[in-house]
Structure 1
Amino acid sequence: MAKRWDGRPYRRLCQEVRRRGDPCWLCGHDIDLTLDPRSPWSFTVEHLIPLSRGGDLLDPANARSAHRRCNSAKGNRVAPRTVGRASRRW
């Protein structure tokens, strides 16, 4: 079955996630819902398990609020990239 990004069920899921008003689950900062959708700090729906790795497009348990920039930086990794670098111990 083809995955549709523009279908009514997906738009409904996006509205539901947006309505919750959660902060970005990747960086923890609030999301300004009034920003232009093309802004790097605008709202997007991020999938915990990426679609390319078998995640379900329409599963509410797989959907989280994220900034467009944070979502893009995560890519198709399952776990978000950790902030900062671990120090090397000699």
Structure 2
Amino acid sequence: MAGPRNGRPYRRLTVAQRALGLPCWWCGREIDYSLTGYAAQRSPWAFTLDHAVPLSRGGDLIDPANARSAHRRCNSQRGNRTNQPQARASRRW
């Protein structure tokens, strides 16, 4: 049996989000939508489907309102945080 991220509803959502051609919602830079297949798996600048409310925090896997376009790198670095990282202090306290 296929996992939830291999199911038809999830693949359909991914295709629809990719077709929008939006910039990365996390960093704001353009995503290289020309990367597909193996190249997309290797490139940190390729498209991935991200979830505004992470799945580990109760976000819905196939809700279009929870879907966002992101770079593979940004999606991985974000993890399950829900807000932008805080700026570091100028010195150690």
Report deviation, 1:80. 3.0
Scaled by the length of structure 1, the TM-score of the pair is 0.86
| More helix, by proportion | 2
Could you say which residue in structure 1 is the equivalent of 2:54? 50
Q: How high is the sequence identity, in percent, across the aligned residues?
A: 61
Unaligned runs of 5+ residues in structure 2 are none
Amino acid at match of 2:10: Y
In the alignment, the residues of structure 2 paired with residue 80 and residue 15 of structure 1 have an alpha-carbon distance, to the nearest angstrom, of 26
Paired residues in the alignment total 85
In the alignment, the residues of structure 1 paired with residue 30 and residue 88 of structure 2 have an alpha-carbon distance, to the nearest angstrom, of 24
C-alpha offsets along residues 58-83 of structure 1, whole Å, 9 cap, x if unaligned? Answer: 0000000000000000001111325x
Scaled by the length of structure 2, the TM-score of the pair is 0.83
Report deviation, 1:87. 4.8
Unaligned runs of 5+ residues in structure 1 are none
